[in-house]
Amino acid sequence: MTTAEFKRQIAEGIPSELPAPKPYDQELNHAPKRKDILTRSEKKLAIKNALRYFPLNFHQVLATEFAMELAVFGRIYMYRFRPDYEIKARHLYDFPHRSKSAAAIMLMISNNLDNAVAQHPHELITYGGNGAVFQNWAQYRITMKYLSEMTDEQTLVIYSGHPLGLFPSHKDSPRLVVTNGMVIPNYSSQDHWEKFNALGVSQYGQMTAGSYMYIGPQGIVHGTTITILNAGRKISKNGEALRGKLFVSSGLGGMSGAQPKAASIAGVVSVIAEINPKAIQTRYTQGWVDEVYSDLDKLIIRVKQATSGKEVISIAYEGNIVDLWERFADENIYVDIGSDQTSLHNPWSGGYYPAGMSFGESNRLMSADPETFREAVRSSLKRQVDAINIHTGRGTYFFDYGNAFLLEASRAGADVIKPDGEFRYPSYVQDIMGPMCFDYGFGPFRWVCCSNDPADLELTDRISAGILNELIVKSPPQIKQQMADNLHWIKEAGKNNLVVGSQARILYADAEGRVAIAVAFNKAIADGIISAPVVLGRDHHDVSGTDSPFRETSDIYDGSKFTADMAVHNVIGDSFRGATWVSLHNGGGVGWGEVINGGFGIVLDGTSETEEKIRMMLHWDVNNGIARRSWARNDGAMFALRREMERTPGLKVTVPYIAEDDMIEKAIK
């Protein structure tokens, strides 16, 4: 298709002629059939809702078709309206536009829906099984049309994928404001999501799916590498290296699939259980998994050989994680580090496959007999925890990987609760990411080169490495290790060939580092060294953007971890300090109703106005969370905040007085 025809189709929005129906592409990975949750009258409402996007002369045909989609797939995706052009990141000027910022947003949306990037592209799901960019293809088409015609004096408003419209606004306000899955708190259960989503009125935007900030697997490879490296430091008794240590976990899916690659970058032996042969095949052909075993006897022999030979190797076990933990316990295989990355944020619809049942049987049972399936999941979780408890009794360091494993296991009645009511095991944020990274402001900093040119990406790698090199020299000992890990990462990033989709990169930096790198990029764009604008953003797995009591904020101990003021303030504060777009989500990572998180995007165009926005917005985007963590009495955050106040005029944050525990003990008696 020519660029002109591509532009014409985008600008057209909903086509004036009804397009031909699209065949169901068997080659692609599709979302599982969703639960049949609507009553008969609600089904009529869902169809009526869907028809709102179309002129009356389409209704006769579409009403029958949408009724069929609802019956067969549990959702109305409007497959017929999937565009004929290839959806992928392109040079920003290839998108029809009147506003550069709007073109950059189109690039980011397109990347999230690219067949090579998205998990279920035809159902508009980017990752995590249910992380939606839009609910249906009409929303996609209308949004792209609005973006193609909007000016820098309008703001596009998106409610859970639905483009509410373009509204007049100021040139310095965000061009786009997105919310996903925001509901009245009492209506936030898993079944509420199923129902509202089936009605076409809400969606689960995960974190970077519905905020258009997904950059393929490298984001997660980076985060997982940092986690495994730091977990290794935690268990290292005499500063010994990670070589020869064994890491066991589950999942080779969207994010979990990064585990073997990251484990190898960190230098350990890893065994990851995965029940779905297709998921294993993807990671194996990609070269992220070195060897695959379905026979536990052979696997055990290989693991003993790999650990004693201190090999760096990643092994997939094709089977259930429960069987792996149990058998390793029986065989006395010592596991140094253990975790789990089944999708327990979505336990009843394909996120977790119970032991004792084949993959196919589980898939059938979850929609045919949901209650029996739920019971199987619960008893499998109990077995899994019993086996893990045997290992940790022998010394294994086990942590929850933010997938709601401990939460769902506890709900299933598994032995994961200590007498004081807390979980027996820490979350990776409580033990690793929180005290080592977030409290100091270290978090995800990602960028996408809008020229779509690898040469620009290489330049940005070099610029950011140069900045980190300068900053590390004067950084205090508390943050030197994080600086060094990220400097090493960015120097090697190009060689690791992690780009899938847009020309994107990620590293972790603190507020000072993020601002310095962004300003340097902006200057390089102004000087014509970088050939086109750069989009800057982050995932929501960060210092300030996310309130998630069992993950990002699990290391907040002042009782406020179930509040969500920080995440909401973050988005509001980013929006008036210069973000090009902001998004606020219910759900993401650990499940609907379990987390509130927000994100942003900012388009760097080389202007001095943008430099001012960078300084304002990134400073707030990190220090909001540090201030909250400091108020919660987290040591690292109190240190980072003191440092920040010394160098930032105008920053005055309320700091806590720390009361003596003994004195309170006496007072309460």
Q: What are the residues binding ligand NAD (CB under 6 A)? A: 127-129, 220, 223-224, 250-256, 258, 273-276, 279, 320-321, 341-345, 351-353, 401-403, 589
CA distance 175 to 507: 26
Q: Among residues 254, 207, 202, 210, which one has the least CA distance to residue 596?
A: 207
CB of 405 vs ligand NAD, minimal distance in Å: 8
Distance in Å, CB of 324 to ligand NAD, minimum: 8
Contacts for 449 with CB less than 8 Å, ≥ 6 apart: 456, 457, 460, 502, 503, 504, 530, 532, 534
Q: Which is nearer to ligand NAD, 224 or 570 (CB)?
A: 224
- The answer to whether 496 touches 546, Cβ cutoff 8 Å, is no
Q: How far apart are CA 570 and CA 617, in angstroms?
A: 10
Nearer to ligand NAD, 3 or 29 (CB): 29
Nearest-CB residue for ligand NAD:
253
Using the minimum distance from each CB to ligand NAD, give the nearer residue, 174 or 625: 625
- Considering the complex, state which of residue 300 and residue 653 has its C-beta at the smaller distance from ligand NAD: 300
Q: Is 460 helix (H, G, I), strand (E, B) or coil?
A: helix
Rg (CA), the chain: 24
Of 92 and 209, nearer to ligand NAD (C-beta) is 209
Q: Which residue's CB is nearer to ligand NAD, number 404 or number 493?
A: 404
Name the token pair of 465. Answer: 């490495």
Which one, 255 or 622, has the nearer CB to ligand NAD? 255
**Nearer to ligand NAD among residue 118 and residue 279 (C-beta):** 279
State the DSSP H helix or E strand holding residue 429, giving kind and residue range, or none if neither. none
Closer by beta carbon to ligand NAD, 343 or else 597: 343
Can you tell me the distance from the alpha carbon of 29 to that of 439, in angstroms, rounded to the nearest whole number?
38
Query: Taking the alpha carbons of 87, 91, 97, 100 in that order, is the dihedral positive or negative?
Result: positive
Q: Tell me the closest approach of the beta carbon of residue 391 to ligand NAD, in angstroms.
A: 16
CA distance 107 to 98: 14
- Residue 246 and residue 268: Cα distance in Å, rounded? 6
- Nearer to ligand NAD by Cβ, of 276 and 531: the residue is 276
For residue 322, which phi and psi values (nearest 5 degrees)? -65, -45
Q: What's the closest the beta carbon of residue 445 comes to ligand NAD, in angstroms?
A: 16
C-alpha to C-alpha distance for 646 and 650, rounded to whole angstroms? 10
Beta bridge partners, 583, equal: 178, 599
Q: Which residue, 62 or 255, is less far from ligand NAD as judged by CB?
A: 255
SS3 category, 650: coil
271/449 with CB nearer ligand NAD: 271
Nearest-approach distance from CB 541 to ligand NAD, in angstroms: 6
125-127 and 131-132 beta bridge pairing: antiparallel
For residue 147, the minimal CB distance to ligand NAD (Å) is 27
1, 243, 247, 494 from 264: Cα distances, Å: 41, 10, 10, 17
Q: Among residues 119 and 136, whose Cβ is nearest to ligand NAD?
A: 119
Residues 6+ away with beta carbon under 8 Å from 47: 63, 66, 67, 70, 76
409 CB-contact burial (10 Å; exposed 0-12 / middle 13-18 / buried 19+): buried
Angle, alpha carbons 492-497-502 (nearest 5°): 115
Smallest distance, ligand NAD to C-beta of residue 297, A? 19
Q: How far is the CB of 427 from ligand NAD (least distance, A)?
A: 9
Least distance from C-beta 131 to ligand NAD, angstroms? 8
Strands (E), 510-555: 534-537, 546-547
DSSP 8-class letter at 417:
B
Distance in Å, CB of 159 to ligand NAD, minimum: 23
Tokens of 227: 């986690």
**In terms of Cα–Cα distance, which of 256, 636, 651, 285 is closest to 476?**
636
Question: From the CB of 547, what's the least distance to ligand NAD, in Å?
Answer: 15
Q: How far is the CB of 322 from ligand NAD (least distance, A)?
A: 6
Shortest Cβ distance from residue 255 to ligand NAD (Å)? 3
Q: What is the DSSP string of 349-403?
A: III---TTS-HHHHHHHHHH-HHHHHHHHHHHHHHHHHHHHHHHHTT-EE-B-SS
